[in-house]
Amino acid sequence: MKDNKSTSQQNSGTVDPNEVERFTRMAEEWWDPQGKFKPLHQINPLRSQWIVQQAGGSLEGKTLLDIGCGGGLISEAMARAGASVTGIDAGEKNITIAQLHAQKTTLSIDYRCTTAEALAASGAQYDVVLALEIIEHVADIDLFVRSACKLLTPGGLMVFSTLNRTAKSYAMAIIGAEYVLRWLPIGTHHWKQFVKPSELHAALRSNGIEDMRLTGLVLDPLKWKWRLDAGDLDVNYLIAGRKV
């Protein structure tokens, strides 16, 4: 997959400092269900349900890595589902918020301020690796996917979620969510950084991920409810596969 950022960023790893700064400014709102991360709170139960389903119905006894964990929304859900969770993020403030919230909820989660490529270089591997709503914010997509796949044990489960690069996603995820509904600060997403399912499928397959399944996360604007729909990948989607 071609890097979607400028050449000057290609050798700086996966971290885009501008993206880290943007999310750091919002860090205090991670656990406010009506704040800037409201969409993530709304889709979190569906994401969690689908991940557990792809893992065979249980995460008990499995090690799980949450890349780009932010304030820990999915990390905590996975810990409650029985996984031994490690959450990593490039933003120190995000990690601090995640650690404090885990302490309040008495959950044991290993949070670290680091990057996927740095952790992969250490030789660490996990039974399940999650990269949710993060690939559209990285500086080097190829390096990010390669690093994430290195962090997965053979036979392990890889799960990505992101935004498709379509006219519909521009209308809904940027114009709708940022400018009309003001769910997200203006500038949170950049349409050119969205990744088509075919592109992500090819990148994962080239890094040893097979048996891939996809589903869409679809918002019903009349009921203001989200649902999983394998037939609609136009905006938000999840993809899961196993490492051979």
Q: Kindly report, residue by residue over 146-155, the tens digit of the pLDDT.
A: 999 999 999 9
For residue 213, the domain's CATH number is 3.40.50.150
Looking at every residue in the chain, the average pLDDT score rounds to: 90
Residue percentage of the chain with pLDDT more than 70: 90
Supply the pLDDT for residue 172: 76
Number of structural domains the chain divides into: 1
In a domain, 1, yes or no: no
- Reported as a single tens digit per residue, the pLDDT across 162-204 is 999 999 988 877 776 665 666 666 667 778 889 999 999 999 9
Give the span between the Cα atoms of 4 and 24, in whole angstroms. Answer: 22
* Residue 118: domain span: 7-243
CB proximity list for 100: less than 8 A, separation 6 or greater: none
Instruction: Please tell me the total number of residues recorded for the chain in this structure.
Output: 244
Supply the pLDDT for residue 154: 98
In a domain, 2, yes or no: no
Supply the pLDDT for residue 4: 46
Residue 120, token pair as written in the block: 């992969």
**The tokens 């890094």 sit on which residue?**
207
Task: Among 22-31, 42-51, 64-73, name the one with the lowest average pLDDT.
Answer: 22-31
In a domain, 142, yes or no: yes
- Reported as a single tens digit per residue, the pLDDT across 52-111 is 999 999 999 999 999 999 999 999 999 999 999 999 999 999 999 999 999 999 999 999
CA 118, 133, 233, 152 torsion-angle sign? positive
Higher pLDDT, 181 or 207: 207
Torsion of Cα atoms, 191 then 139 then 216 then 98, to 10°:
-120
In a domain, 70, yes or no: yes
Residue (of 86, 134, 132, 120) closest to 239 by Cα position? 132
